[in-house]
Structures are given as structure tokens and as C-alpha cells.
A = this chain, B = another copy of it.
Amino acid sequence: MSIIQPRTLSGFMELLPARQIQFDRMAAIIRESFSLYGFTPLDTPLIEASEVLLAKGGGETEKQIYRFTKGDSDLSLRFDLTVPLAKYVALNYANLAFPFRRFQIGKVYRGERAQRGRFREFYQADIDVIGDGKLDISNDAEIPAIIYRTFTSLGLKRFQIRVNNRKVLNGFYAMLDLTQKSGAIMRTVDKLEKIGAPQVKELLMGEDIGLTEQQAGEIMKFIAITGSNDQVLSALESYRGRSPLFDEGLDELKTVARNLAAFGVPEDHFVVDLTIARGLDYYTGTVYETAMLDHPEIGSICSGGRFDNLAEYYTEKQLPGVGISIGLTRLFFVLEDQGYLNDQLNTAPTDVLILPMTGDMAPAISLATTLRSAGVRTQIYGEDKKFKQKMSYADKLGVPYVIFLGEEEIAAGQAAVKNMRTGQQVKLSPADALAMIQAGLKELNQGAPILDKGV
């Protein structure tokens, strides 16, 4: 038979067992965190009718979409979790209670150019709150507060949530009579961290955008407003009264900043940042990005914002919302790449490996049942191998405890428990063995999945 070389597609993350356990542990903490805030889990299909998924037109995304036909159907793989949410809410409107709070952790697909750290199949972890007709601004503050709690639970420390408001930006451009050019200006301003202020100003006055020296100067002055949140908000007050949209946005931004503190987010973990705009014209109010302070080069690890109308392509109903999305696969890649993963936590597939030393499996099965009933993951090693090979198996898996059940132990109703990290071996009754193992595992599993040296 001819052998096909096994391979995994480029841009598709496939982890070795220990890494997978680390990934799953992070996903579990995120799920738990989102649940604690009263978000309900959804699990929508990965495939949708292209007509439905691309109702809006994919824009820049469209050429990245995995689109194909099956029989007579024109199908596409989802490229985010927001469009499927819009479809879901429009479709199930009558059966949902609003505000509708949902989270979804799922894979999405984008056929991007393959390069290191870029994925074509990747997890997003999203929360969104959808209102019926309107949605209170307090939600705009709660969303980043949830992200703060979630990242903190994961062990991440040196991160910062950056908040802005599109109404402030759009209002500001309206003051300068630059509304028509605001898209191009914002895309240029977005390059600030990459190319620096002088270069941005030059681009603004270049042929493509064509601002006057004075207009460009106004913009550079505006985006140079920095400092503490209070300082930034005060500086913005000096623009008040020239655009109703700006004033509305400023009020929202002030409310969000005030509430973020009330929600328990420390001042050093969120900043009002006037350079944040988000590429998508989808957002209409508050916008968020999240930076890893020690790794500005990786860009935002969690972004989102407020939108006026989630499902305008599917329903006449006005469904405003606010949401945010963690790019989980990319985040995991970066954490691994930068040495942030806490490798001290247990990544063995089992907590205990029982080695039956006699032909009779019954005592091993009985002990395993006791351990499993108490939540201790237990594997019985049933292969006919030499002792050395069995121990090498335990070593390779990194199993914390090995239990030997020889004739002597069985006769005495005991188990010989070996702590594989210390090498210590003791004979104990099943109950005492369980207690010792549980205490040891508790110690082994404490700590967060991310080891962030910072702060």
C-alpha cells in the first residue's frame, strides 16, 4: 500500500497533548468567567448559506472566505461569530429575552496569507449584549470590566484596555468639515504606533487625503491628547458645543470611564485613547482594543465596541448591542511563543497511573473506581510490558502519581503510592492514598495558566 505523507494544513493550529490541555484550561476559565456574568452559551453552525452569511457583503473579508457549493447549495464557513449571532437573533427574536447576553467560543475561518502566527482556522471567544430598541450605556462599561476579570483570572497582568468612542471621532471630524474624509483619516491615524506622528501628518496632507496644513495640525493635536483618563476627558471638554454628536460621544465616554472604575477595573488597566477607531465602520459608539504592554507588536488581543444595529440585513427591528472578542488561538500562540504559559501546572492526561503487578485486575479496578468517584483522573495500565517500560510510560506522560498493586499490597488492602515528582513512595489504605493524592493535586494545580512576570 502506498503511504500518504500525513500533514496538517498550514495556518491550522494542532497541538500536542500537553499544550492542548493548557489551551483547554484557558478556554474553560474564559467560559467560566463569561458564565459568571450571566451570558448564555450559543453554538451556531460553522456553515451558513452564503446568501445569509454575506448579506452585508464581506468587504475586505470577502476574498478570505471559504465558500463552496454542495449539491445546489452555495455555502460559506463563518468568518466571525457576530454575523451568525445577528442571524440567530433575527431568526429567534420572538423566543429571546432582551437584553440578550450570549457568549460563544468557536472556530472561525479566514483564508489569510499564511505566515507565522497567522491562522486560517482560529478560535474567537465573544460576548455580546443585544438590546431590543435600545441598550443602556452601562453595558459599554461592563464589557471591558468582564474582560479585565477574565484576563486576570487567566493570570495576565501587563495588559491595558483602550477605550474610545466613534461619536467623539466622527463629531470631531464634523467640526472640521472632514466627515467625507473621516474613514481615510482614521485608517491613517491607525498607523500612528507603527509609523510615528510626522509620517502620519505627511500622509494626511498627501495626495490621497489632501488635508490642509491647518486641518492636519488640528488632527495631530487631537490625537496627541494623552495623560490620565481625567486629563484626556478634560481636554476633550474644550471641544464641547461645536458638534451635538461629539457632545453625545463625550458624555458616553465619560460615563464608561466612570463606570469602569465602579466595576472594579484599576486605572492602570484602562485608558481613554483617542487613536483607537477600529477598522470596521460597523461600530457606532464605544470602541475597545486590548494591548499586551510588553508586546505592542502583536496588536490588539481583544477588540470590540458598540453597534447601533446588529441585524439590519435580516430584520426591520432595531437591535443595538455591544460586544467584544478575544482572538484566542492567536493569543495562545503569542503566549507560548513569548514563554508566558505556566508549564508547572499538571498537563498529564491522568493524575494516577495504576500498575497491577498480578494477573488479577479486580483490585486495580476497585481502587480506580474509588479514585474516580472522588474526581481523581485514573488510568489502569493493562499492557503486558516490562516494569521499566511501564515506568518510562508514566515518566513520558508526566503522571504525578503511580500506584503499584502487588500481591503484598492486595493482601494488606493497601496501595503503594509513588509521588513521581519527589520520588517518595508510601504504602497507604485506599482512603489515605486518596487523601494524599488529592492534597498533592490541589497544590500541583494551583496557579493560573499564564505566568505574567509583570506588575
CB distance from A61 to the nearest CB of B (A): 14
Contact with B along A1-35 (1 / 0, CB 8 A): 10111111100111111001101100000000001
Asked if A314 and B4 make an inter-chain contact with CB atoms under 8 angstroms apart, the answer reads yes
Asked if A9 and B48 make an inter-chain contact with CB atoms under 8 angstroms apart, the answer reads yes
Question: What residues of B have a CB within 8 angstroms of the CB of A428 in the complex?
Answer: none
> In this assembly, does A37 line the interface, its C-beta being within 8 Å of a C-beta of chain B?
yes
> With the chains together, A262 CA to B88 CA distance in Å?
48
Question: What residues of B have a CB within 8 angstroms of the CB of A386 in the complex?
Answer: none
Within 8 A of B (CB), among A243-276: 259, 262-264
Q: Which of A136-144, A200-208, A300-308 contacts B (4 or more CB under 8 A)?
A: A136-144
Given contacts A17-B42, A42-B20, A396-B97, whether A3 and B378 have CB atoms under 8 Å apart is no
Contact with B along A213-236 (1 / 0, CB 8 A): 000000000000000000000000
Within 8 A of B (CB), among A90-124: 90-92, 95-99, 101-102, 107, 109, 111, 121
Given contacts A24-B41, A88-B14, whether A142 and B47 have CB atoms under 8 Å apart is no
Q: Which of A49-57, A162-170, A175-183, A441-449 contacts B (4 or more CB under 8 A)?
A: A49-57
Asked if A37 and B382 make an inter-chain contact with CB atoms under 8 angstroms apart, the answer reads no
Question: What residues of B have a CB within 8 angstroms of the CB of A396 in the complex?
Answer: 97
Most chain B CB neighbours (cut-off 10 Å) among A21, A47, A111 = A47
Contact with B along A64-94 (1 / 0, CB 8 A): 0010111101010000000000111011100
Asked if A91 and B7 make an inter-chain contact with CB atoms under 8 angstroms apart, the answer reads yes
Asked if A383 and B43 make an inter-chain contact with CB atoms under 8 angstroms apart, the answer reads no
Asked if A4 and B51 make an inter-chain contact with CB atoms under 8 angstroms apart, the answer reads yes
Q: Which of A278-286, A288-296, A369-377, A415-423 contacts B (4 or more CB under 8 A)?
A: A369-377
Within 8 A of B (CB), among A280-338: 311-316
Given contacts A6-B52, A12-B47, A45-B121, whether A383 and B20 have CB atoms under 8 Å apart is no
Asked if B384 and A136 make an inter-chain contact with CB atoms under 8 angstroms apart, the answer reads yes
Asked if B46 and A20 make an inter-chain contact with CB atoms under 8 angstroms apart, the answer reads no
Given contacts A49-B9, A138-B382, whether A313 and B1 have CB atoms under 8 Å apart is yes
Specify the chain B residue showing the minimal Cβ separation from A96.
B17
Specify the chain B residue showing the minimal Cβ separation from A350.
B38
Given contacts A40-B20, A40-B21, A92-B16, whether A3 and B45 have CB atoms under 8 Å apart is no
Asked if B9 and A111 make an inter-chain contact with CB atoms under 8 angstroms apart, the answer reads no
By the criterion of a CB under 8 Å from any partner CB, how many residues of chain A are at the interface?
Answer: 97
> In this assembly, does A426 line the interface, its C-beta being within 8 Å of a C-beta of chain B?
no
Given contacts A1-B312, A3-B316, A92-B16, whether A99 and B383 have CB atoms under 8 Å apart is yes
Q: Which residue of B97, B264, B384 contacts A369 across the interface (Cβ within 8 Å)?
A: B264
Most chain B CB neighbours (cut-off 10 Å) among A70, A73, A91 = A70
Given contacts A6-B90, A111-B70, A136-B384, whether A40 and B17 have CB atoms under 8 Å apart is yes
Given contacts A262-B361, A314-B4, whether A97 and B66 have CB atoms under 8 Å apart is no
Specify the chain B residue showing the minimal Cβ separation from A64.
B70
Asked if A131 and B46 make an inter-chain contact with CB atoms under 8 angstroms apart, the answer reads no
Given contacts A23-B43, A121-B46, whether A37 and B378 have CB atoms under 8 Å apart is yes
> With the chains together, A142 CA to B378 CA distance in Å?
13
Question: What residues of B have a CB within 8 angstroms of the CB of A5 in the complex?
Answer: 314
CB distance from A378 to the nearest CB of B (A): 6
Question: What residues of B have a CB within 8 angstroms of the CB of A263 in the complex?
Answer: 365
CB distance from A111 to the nearest CB of B (A): 5
Query: Which residues does A use to contact B, with CB under 8 Å?
Result: 1, 3-9, 12-17, 20-21, 23-24, 35-49, 51-52, 55, 66, 68-71, 73, 75, 86-88, 90-92, 95-99, 101-102, 107, 109, 111, 121, 131, 134-136, 138-139, 142, 259, 262-264, 311-316, 349-350, 353, 361-362, 365, 369, 372, 375-380, 382-384, 393, 396-397
16 A-B residue pairs with Cβ-Cβ distance under 8 Å, sorted by A, are: A3-B315, A4-B51, A6-B88, A6-B90, A6-B311, A8-B45, A8-B91, A37-B379, A47-B121, A68-B68, A97-B397, A134-B383, A136-B382, A259-B361, A262-B365, A264-B369
